[in-house]
Amino acid sequence: MSNKGKKVKVHYTGTLDDGTKFDSSVDRGEPIEFTCMAGQMIPGFDAAVEDMAVGEKKTVHIPAAEAYGERNDEMVQKVPADQIPNADQLPVGQTVYMMGPGGQPFPVFVESIEDGIVTFDMNHELAGKDLNFDIELVEVED
């Protein structure tokens, strides 16, 4: 039975191939809810949940291409610091939010500030990484 188009609740723990945990609904004590196969989740996660039954558990390996995509060097931008308000206060090594063309905030990683140039990495922090998930389907709404 397909869960496509249905609202589902799942518990999951996500790890990298080296075993590093990057996220867990179990740790938060709250399952995530989404509409299956509606593009709200990364493609590989959606596909894993599509044919699960309530109470079923599975472990899946999702290659980068089916997760957050491959790293894209064009997503690393160098901007003169004098074009950025308060550039001297940017936290190197941390993520900040900038405003996109439509006024929507989007995360960027402040890679460095050197010689008056700020380097931003706009790739998702998990881009280029294969992901592993332990998933349990908790609930399906018809």
Q: Mean of the pLDDT values across residues 97-113? A: 90
| Residues 37-67 pLDDT 10s | 999 999 999 999 999 999 999 999 999 999 9
Q: Where are the alpha helices (DSSP H) in 1-142?
A: 25-28, 43-50
Q: Is 80 exceeded by the pLDDT of residue 142?
A: no
The residue among 113, 130, 141, 122 whose CA lies nearest residue 77 is 122
d(CA 104, CA 48): 30
73-121: CATH architecture: Beta Barrel (2.40)
6-69+126-141: CATH architecture: Roll (3.10)
pTM to 2 decimals?
0.81
Domain boundaries, the chain: 6-69+126-141, 73-121
DSSP category for residue 102: T
Q: Mean of the pLDDT values across residues 13-26? A: 97
Q: What is the pLDDT of residue 99?
A: 84
| Residues 61-78 pLDDT 10s | 999 999 999 999 999 999
The residue among 27, 26, 32, 25 whose CA lies nearest residue 8 is 32
